[in-house]
Amino acid sequence: MRPRVILFDLDETLHDRRASVEAFIPTLYGFLEPWLSHVSLEDFRATLHRVDYGGYVPREVFMQRLLEAFDARNFDAVALAKFWRSEFAKFAQPMAGAYELLEFLKSKGIQTGIVSNGTVQLQQAKIDALGLQVDVVVISEAVGVKKPAAKPFLEALRLLEVQPSETWFVGDHPVNDIQGAVAIGIKAFWLERETAWSGNAPHVRLERLLDLQKFL
């Protein structure tokens, strides 16, 4: 049965986070260069990816690990995290096929939404920078709990006035996205990205975002 609504995760689903980080690295390196003159850009890039953990740690913790890796102890990790939050969204890159898929769903009369973990400030800045046109946005900070908890998903359903059985969800994280959606009766599609599959919830695997069209 064709869904009335398709919800999406943001990072590594509609937003190509890894590509965005790559685009942002030279700016971040330039900001830190007075403290990192002994570190090459390539070494900085490799270390950043190693301690970033795909964005699943607070930016203050991430920045502290980055600074410690280069023994740059005279710089404030909190200030660096603030710089990340204020500047990173300017480098946001869309996932391949994101705009085409959203336009296709609109042409079919299917409503869309984003359900994302993170802070409202940073996640909404990415959405705005990318110009993603969806019917509803739910960000975990605004509802007080992160996926895979049911509340972020249910809030999107409430706003769109649909039932779980009328909804699909697309995301890259096996637990936060797939298990969270399936637990409340939403059909889940796993977009294979950086996070290896580690769940046992039923799902459909997508190699590319546009592969979703095959199921419509």
CATH number at residue 185: 3.40.50.1000
**pLDDT at 140 exceeding the cut of 90:** yes
On whether both 35 and 111 belong to a single domain, the answer is no
- pLDDT for 123: 96
On whether both 184 and 85 belong to a single domain, the answer is no
3-state helix/strand/coil string of the chain? CCCCEEEECCECCCECHHHHHHHHHHHHHHHHHHHCCCCCHHHHHHHHHHHHHHHCCCHHHHHHHHHHHCCCCCCCHHHHHHHHHHHHHHHCCECCCHHHHHHHHHHCCCEEEEEECCCHHHHHHHHHHHCCCCCEEEEHHHHCCCCCCHHHHHHHHHHHCCCHHHEEEEECCHHHHHHHHHHCCCEEEEECCCCCCCCCCCCEEECCHHHHHHHC
On whether both 168 and 197 belong to a single domain, the answer is yes
Final residue belonging to a domain, choices 91, 110, 144: 91
Q: How many CA atoms lie within 13 A of 128 on its CB side?
A: 9
**pLDDT at 120 exceeding the cut of 90:** yes
Reported as a pLDDT band with limits 50, 70 and 90, residue 159 is: very high
On whether both 110 and 209 belong to a single domain, the answer is yes
pLDDT digits (tens, 9 = 90+) for 170-201: 999 999 999 999 999 999 999 998 777 777 77
On whether both 101 and 201 belong to a single domain, the answer is yes
- pLDDT for 32: 85
On whether both 113 and 68 belong to a single domain, the answer is no
On whether both 207 and 117 belong to a single domain, the answer is yes
Average pLDDT over every residue of 152-169: 98
On whether both 106 and 194 belong to a single domain, the answer is yes
Final residue belonging to a domain, choices 58, 91, 124: 91
pLDDT digits (tens, 9 = 90+) for 50-104: 999 888 888 899 999 988 888 877 778 898 899 999 999 999 999 999 999 999 9
Residue with the bigger pLDDT between 73 and 119: it is 119
On whether both 86 and 165 belong to a single domain, the answer is no
On whether both 104 and 134 belong to a single domain, the answer is yes
Final residue belonging to a domain, choices 91, 112, 145: 91
On whether both 33 and 134 belong to a single domain, the answer is no
User: What is the percent of the chain where pLDDT is above 70?
Assistant: 99
- pLDDT for 214: 95
Average pLDDT over every residue of 115-130: 95
On whether both 149 and 64 belong to a single domain, the answer is no
- pLDDT for 211: 97
Average pLDDT over every residue of 107-111: 97
Reported as a pLDDT band with limits 50, 70 and 90, residue 49 is: very high
User: What is the percent of the chain where pLDDT is above 90?
Assistant: 78
Domain housing 108: 5-16+94-215
Mean pLDDT of all residues belonging to the chain = 93
Total domains in the fold of the chain: 2
- pLDDT for 57: 86
- pLDDT for 72: 76
Q: How many whole angstroms separate alpha carbon 122 and alpha carbon 95?
A: 17
